[in-house]
């Protein structure tokens, strides 16, 4: 199945992508070997799969080598692989010049890597499709949770792209672009090339001005940081999305995700240590021992059924002089509406018309 889908993608592959790579015949796309299939179904192997796919389409002399990948898969082996790579690079961090968004690679990664994970592992579903507009631009806002790699975000972006063939650009925490763990885990520039937008106001505003479809979590890091005890309790919303929606007349589409809290169950955030190491969060849970033994599992998450309920499109507000007050009121009203819809969906009751 994967190979057939890879073949269908080749007709739109940008020849420049082929020039980046230095292994094998690029005309066949990314074909799964037995090792790739093993990595797909073995949690420490997801990081291997992400990096191998990147190296198929890009030149990556500073990237991981095949013998280092093998170490990922044994207990504690990642630390030895990290040391070997650091020494191989002359005791410096990896470098890569590929930092610009590439639509073609985003599509290749979606088709060849994300499809089996999202369809078979997370069993993701997009509900209430009748509320999904046919046109762009949009600011798609959703609840964010899980205290893990942002699979709830990645999955929604995949589903929307599949349904409308949109190019989705998620607003992502700065840590996903520059934190040392990310720099060593994944290829440098990986988040940029796949369309990530730094969660900073200027970058957000630039994307809105360009009339793009932007995926945004108004809770910010407060969503995943809240931990298991406060699961499915929406945290305070930032108001920037409402301000930019009014300023540039871009509609807001709310989406409620149910299932994301189970991506990393029973986790609590160690706030003091998290701040010390400048991490977005530092979970303590029954799974943390596995992560310590297999650090490559940092891009993995527990199997969960992710269901996304598309709400009705929000009316665009009119920008007024006291924009912050108006934006705050609208953001709070949307938070209450999404919380009510989430509570109803979790209880399995039909959603009242005002929550649609």
* CATH classification of the domain holding 311: 3.40.1130
Buried b (16+ CB within 10 A) or exposed e, 185-210: bbbbbbbbbbbbbbbeeeebeebbee
| Nearest residue to 191 via CA among 256, 120, 105, 125 | 105
Alpha carbon dihedral 335, 340, 343, 349, in 10-degree steps, equals -150
115 shares a domain with 218: yes
147 shares a domain with 65: no
Buried b (16+ CB within 10 A) or exposed e, 304-324: bebbbbbbbebeebeeeeeee
DSSP secondary structure code for residue 41 in this structure:
H
65 shares a domain with 120: no
251 shares a domain with 278: yes
Residue matched to tokens 């298991």: 228
169 shares a domain with 24: no
Residue matched to tokens 């890879």: 6
Q: What 3-state DSSP class applies to 5?
A: helix
pLDDT at position 233 is 95
Residues linked to residue 284 through DSSP beta bridges, in sequence order? 268
Domain for residue 323, yes or no?
yes
Give CA 209 to chain center in angstroms: 22
Q: What 3-state DSSP class applies to 269?
A: strand
Domain for residue 184, yes or no?
yes
Domain for residue 236, yes or no?
yes
Domain for residue 231, yes or no?
yes
For helices 240-248 and 201-209, give the axis angle rounded to 10 degrees. 30
326 shares a domain with 214: yes
From 88, 118, 146, give the residue that closes a domain: 88
From 63, 88, 113, give the residue that closes a domain: 88
Domain for residue 97, yes or no?
no
Q: What 3-state DSSP class applies to 255?
A: strand
The tokens describing 161, both together, are: 């792209």
126 shares a domain with 62: no
pLDDT at position 282 is 83
Residue matched to tokens 């990237």: 63
Domain for residue 173, yes or no?
yes
Parallel/antiparallel/unpaired status of strands 138-142 and 213-216: parallel
198 shares a domain with 124: yes
For helices 240-248 and 323-347, give the axis angle rounded to 10 degrees. 110
Q: What angle do CA 295, 43, 56 make, to 5 degrees?
A: 90
Domain for residue 280, yes or no?
yes
> Can you tell me the distance from the alpha carbon of 207 to that of 171, in angstroms, rounded to the nearest whole number?
9
> Can you tell me the distance from the alpha carbon of 282 to that of 273, in angstroms, rounded to the nearest whole number?
7
Contact by Cβ (8 Å): 73, 64 = no
Say how many residues make up the chain: 356
229 shares a domain with 290: yes
pLDDT at position 166 is 93
113 shares a domain with 77: no
DSSP secondary structure code for residue 314 in this structure:
P
Contact by Cβ (8 Å): 171, 215 = yes
Q: What angle do CA 152, 153, 156 make, to 5 degrees?
A: 85
From 30, 57, 88, give the residue that closes a domain: 88
Range of the domain at 73: 2-88
67 shares a domain with 214: no
Domain for residue 96, yes or no?
no
pLDDT at position 3 is 44
Consecutive 10-residue runs of the chain (356 residues): their mean pLDDT? 40 42 55 96 97 94 96 97 97 85 95 96 96 93 93 96 94 88 92 94 94 95 90 94 94 96 92 80 89 94 96 82 83 96 82 52
> Can you tell me the distance from the alpha carbon of 195 to that of 100, in angstroms, rounded to the nearest whole number?
8
pLDDT at position 323 is 78
> Can you tell me the distance from the alpha carbon of 262 to that of 241, in angstroms, rounded to the nearest whole number?
27
Number of domains forming the structure of the chain: 2
DSSP secondary structure code for residue 23 in this structure:
S
58 shares a domain with 113: no
């Amino acid at each position: 199945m994967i190979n057939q889908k890879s073949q269908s993608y080749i007709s739109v592959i940008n020849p420049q992508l082929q020039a980046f790579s230095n292994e094998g015949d690029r005309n066949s796309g990314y074909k799964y070997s037995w090792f790739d299939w093993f990595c797909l179904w073995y949690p420490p192997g997801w990081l291997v799969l992400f990096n191998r796919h990147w190296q198929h389409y890009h030149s990556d002399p500073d990237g991981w080598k095949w013998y280092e990948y093998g170490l990922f898969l044994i207990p504690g082996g990642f630390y030895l692989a990290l040391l070997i790579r650091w020494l191989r690079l002359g005791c410096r961090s990896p470098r890569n010049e590929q930092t610009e968004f590439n639509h073609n690679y985003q599509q290749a990664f979606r088709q060849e890597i994300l499809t089996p994970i999202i369809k078979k592992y997370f069993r993701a579903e997009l509900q209430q499709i009748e509320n999904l507009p046919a046109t762009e631009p949009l600011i798609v806002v959703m609840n964010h949770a899980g205290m893990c790699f942002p699979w709830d975000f990645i999955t929604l972006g995949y589903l929307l792209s599949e349904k409308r063939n949109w190019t989705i650009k998620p607003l992502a925490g700065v840590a996903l672009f520059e934190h040392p763990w990310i720099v060593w885990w994944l290829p440098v520039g990986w988040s940029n090339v796949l369309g990530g937008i730094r969660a900073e106001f200027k970058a957000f505003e630039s994307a809105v001005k360009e009339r793009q479809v932007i995926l945004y979590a108004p809770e910010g890091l407060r969503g995943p940081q809240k931990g298991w005890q406060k699961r499915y309790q929406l945290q305070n919303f930032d108001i920037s999305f409402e301000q930019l929606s009014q300023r540039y007349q871009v509609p807001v589409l709310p989406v409620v995700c149910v299932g994301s809290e189970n991506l990393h169950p029973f986790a609590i955030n160690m706030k003091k240590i998290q701040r010390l190491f400048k991490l977005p969060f530092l979970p303590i849970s029954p799974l943390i021992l596995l992560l310590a033994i297999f650090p490559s599992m940092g891009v993995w998450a527990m199997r969960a059924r992710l269901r996304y309920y598309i709400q009705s499109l929000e009316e665009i507000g009119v920008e007024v002089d006291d924009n912050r007050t108006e934006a705050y009121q609208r953001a709070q009203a949307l938070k209450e509406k999404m919380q009510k819809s989430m509570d109803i969906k979790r209880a399995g009751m039909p959603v009242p018309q005002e929550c649609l």
